[in-house]
Every structure is written in structure tokens, then in C-alpha cells.
């Protein structure tokens, strides 16, 4: 499973892209509305930082305006893909945009029936929101499992749409999405940082450092090795 970052914050992408684990990004109107500055500049900068698909969302509800916004968002950067909220109009707009060669991420998908319609409309990504399902006491893992099984079931290979797990509220959502076969999870910076942590890792690093420091001559030896390598480079 590939990891995208779910954010409107350029600073957050700058920090986390440096880890080398991101394959793309998703924004949405709510995330961008939290940030200062021009949203187009933010989307372009995120595209420069993340070498992969970056979703930018349309906000209109009628087909013609969705298509017009989608075409316009695509001019921001070649990696922009159009995020379209699920609805009958959204499906129609998706079909039009896809027929023109634009990639679409259909968002706000909460059931296998919606996922099937989305795949048939030609979307590249189907965004299923796990956290928002759990918020209303619907088991998000059950829904994601049903979506993955429906699309990859009897006619495996027939649908090329990728299941993108979204609304990740904690690291366990990310692991669940991977175990269930989602192709992508889009994860907020806060949750990506939580994924770094394990008490045994920090304790282990502290112990290695303390043991090494107990032999000062070893520290000198390593420093010399680094210097020699730098001189030869």
C-alpha cells in the first residue's frame, strides 16, 4: 500500500516529504480553508514536493461547473488529479473528465454500491472515509473489506480503480487499510508522526548511544572514519 499525505499545509508536506515515504497527497476544501495564502500556490508547491498524484477538489454541485473546475485545477500542475465528491452529477462529471484524459479521485464514498458506480464511471481512485464511518458507529473495516472484495472479486483485474482509504484518525486505521488490500491510504501529518513512535525504539536508541559513549576512544575512531571518507569524496 502506498502512502499519501492528507493536508493543505505546505509546511507539513515539506517536513514529511523529506522522510521519503510519500507517493502522493490529497487536499480538500476544508483542509485548504485552514491555511493562509493562495490555495493554487499551495497545491502547486505540494506537487513539487511530492512526486506523485495530488488531489485538488471541485466544490460545485452541477456537472458543467464541476467539469469546468476540474479542467481549471488540472492547469495548476501536471500531477494534479481532480477530486470529485460522489453524486449522480459527480459520476457524470467524472465520465466527462476521464474521457478528456484527466484522472479523477472520487471522494466521500461510503459503500460498495457507491464504489461500483465510481469504478464504472472511470475514476482512478475511490476514496472511502474510515474515520467518518466509525464516527457514526458503522464499522469502517467491514465497509472497506466489502469495497475491496467487490472490486477485486469475481472479475479480478476488470476494475483498475484503486481503493484509497481516507479519514485516517489513528495509525491502526492505516494498518487495517493495508491488511484489507487498499492500494493507497491518505494520512494526516499528525497520524504519520504517530506511526513513527514505539517506546522500545526510543529506549533502544538511548541505550546504543549510552553504551557507545562509555567508550570515548570508539567515538574518536568513528569520527576519524567519517573524516577520512569525507576527504576522499
Q: Which residues are catalytic?
A: 83
For ligand E4P, the closer of residues 3 and 166 by Cβ is 166
State in Å, rounded, how far the first CA of the chain is from the last one.
37
Stretch that binds ligand E4P, among 61-69, 70-78, 127-135, 214-222 (CB under 6 A): 127-135
Residue with grid cell 501536471, as numbered in its chain: 78
For ligand E4P, the closer of residues 97 and 185 by Cβ is 185
Site for ligand E4P in 161-200 (CB under 6 A): 166-167, 186
Burial category of 2 from C-beta neighbours within 10 Å (exposed 0-12, middle 13-18, buried 19 and up): middle
d(Cα 166, Cα 120) in Å, to the nearest integer? 20
d(Cα 156, Cα 46) in Å, to the nearest integer? 34
Minimum CB separation of residue 210 from ligand E4P in Å reads 40
- C-alpha cell, 221: 575512531
57 phi and psi, to 5 degrees?
A: -100, 140
For ligand E4P, the closer of residues 34 and 198 by Cβ is 34
Minimum CB separation of residue 67 from ligand E4P in Å reads 20
Binding test (CB under 6 A) with ligand E4P, winner from 9, 79, 94, 107: 107
d(Cα 63, Cα 220) in Å, to the nearest integer? 68
Binding test (CB under 6 A) with ligand E4P, winner from 132, 152, 170, 193: 132
Site for ligand E4P in 28-67 (CB under 6 A): 28
Residue among 128, 131, 194, 139 at smallest CA distance from 168: 131
Minimum CB separation of residue 105 from ligand E4P in Å reads 7
- Which stretches of the chain are assigned E, i.e. beta strand? 2-6, 22-26, 53-57, 80-85, 104-109, 125-129, 162-166, 184-187
Check binding of 9 to ligand E4P (CB under 6 A).
no
Minimum CB separation of residue 223 from ligand E4P in Å reads 46
Binding test (CB under 6 A) with ligand E4P, winner from 1, 3, 5, 6: 6
Footprint on this chain of ligand E4P (rule: CB under 6 A): 6, 26, 28, 107, 127, 129, 131-132, 166-167, 186
Amino acid at each position: 500500500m502506498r502512502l499519501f499525505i492528507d493536508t493543505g499545509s505546505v509546511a507539513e508536506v515539506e517536513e514529511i516529504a523529506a522522510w521519503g515515504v510519500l507517493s502522493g497527497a490529497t487536499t480538500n476544501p476544508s483542509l485548504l480553508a485552514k491555511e493562509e495564502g493562495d490555495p493554487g500556490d499551495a497545491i502547486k508547491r505540494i506537487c513539487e514536493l511530492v512526486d506523485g498524484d495530488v488531489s485538488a477538489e471541485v466544490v460545485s454541485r452541477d456537472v458543467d461547473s464541476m467539469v469546468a473546475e476540474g479542467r481549471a485545477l488540472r492547469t495548476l500542475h501536471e500531477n494534479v488529479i481532480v477530486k470529485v465528491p460522489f453524486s449522480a452529477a459527480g459520476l457524470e462529471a467524472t465520465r466527462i473528465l476521464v474521457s478528456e484524459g484527466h484522472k479523477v479521485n472520487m471522494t466521500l464514498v461510503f459503500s460498495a454500491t457507491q464504489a461500483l458506480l465510481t469504478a464504472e464511471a472511470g475514476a482512478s481512485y475511490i476514496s472511502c472515509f474510515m474515520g467518518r464511518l466509525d464516527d457514526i458507529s458503522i464499522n469502517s473495516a467491514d465497509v472497506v473489506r466489502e469495497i475491496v472484495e467487490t472490486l477485486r472479486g469475481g472479475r479480478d483485474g476488470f476494475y483498475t480503480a484503486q481503493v484509497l482509504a481516507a479519514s485516517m484518525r489513528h495509525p491502526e486505521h492505516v494498518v487495517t487499510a493495508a491488511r484489507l488490500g487498499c492500494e493507497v491510504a491518505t494520512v494526516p501529518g499528525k497520524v504519520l508522526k504517530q506511526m513513527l513512535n514505539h517506546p522500545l525504539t526510543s529506549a533502544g536508541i538511548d541505550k546504543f548511544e549510552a553504551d557507545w559513549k562509555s567508550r570515548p576512544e570508539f567515538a574518536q575512531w568513528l569520527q576519524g572514519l567519517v573524516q577520512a571518507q569525507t576527504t576522499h569524496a
